[in-house]
Amino acid sequence: MIYLQLFVTFFVIGLFTFGGGGAMLSLIQTQVVGKFAWLTEGQFTDIVAISQCTPGPIGVNCATYTGYEVAGVAGSAIATFALVLPSFIIFYGIITLYNRYHTTSLFSNVMAGLRPAVAGLIGAAALILMFHISPQGISVLEENFPDWTSWAIMAASLLASLVFKINPILLIVAGGIIGLIIY
């Protein structure tokens, strides 16, 4: 019975949690500490701390550790599998639909409409990280851009990307190296 409860609990968490592992923590805590009392608050806090220190997504690490604490190695495997299964099913469905419809004009038109929306969302996220907007005005978030060197690196990256069409991965690596050298 415990294996079925683990599976259903973590399957539902994986199915209805959007935003990554950090967003899962509250739901995991509600289920494993509050509803089923599989763990104490202290144990859950330890799991979160350990999950942040170990490689891999925090939600998967929490599921794995919780499953182990509740039902051993089998529980660990079941909880982890149940957490990632919804993502696999959804992704498989999207790939199936893509393979079936990617050559249609409707799909092409939808993708053409989504491109500017995605670019706008990414741009909005960048602006939110750069500026503090309040009724008193707009100010630069100094903790995100501590000096003019950071602004120069950002401007050089933008120029390299737009004008010289340099691969974004290379720009990220170069920015990291420059940041290590300067800071």
Q: What is the pLDDT of residue 144?
A: 65
- Asked if residue 17 has pLDDT above 70, the reply is yes
- Asked if residue 2 has pLDDT above 90, the reply is yes
- Asked if residue 62 has pLDDT above 70, the reply is yes
Task: Write out pLDDT tens, residues 149-175.
Answer: 888 888 999 999 999 999 999 998 998
Please tell me the distance from the alpha carbon of residue 127 to that of residue 123, in angstroms, as a whole number: 6
Task: Write out pLDDT tens, residues 110-145.
Answer: 989 988 988 888 888 777 777 777 788 887 776 666
Q: What is the pLDDT of residue 52?
A: 84
- Asked if residue 100 has pLDDT above 90, the reply is yes
User: In the chain, what are the domain boundaries?
Assistant: 2-101, 105-182
pTM of the complete model:
0.62
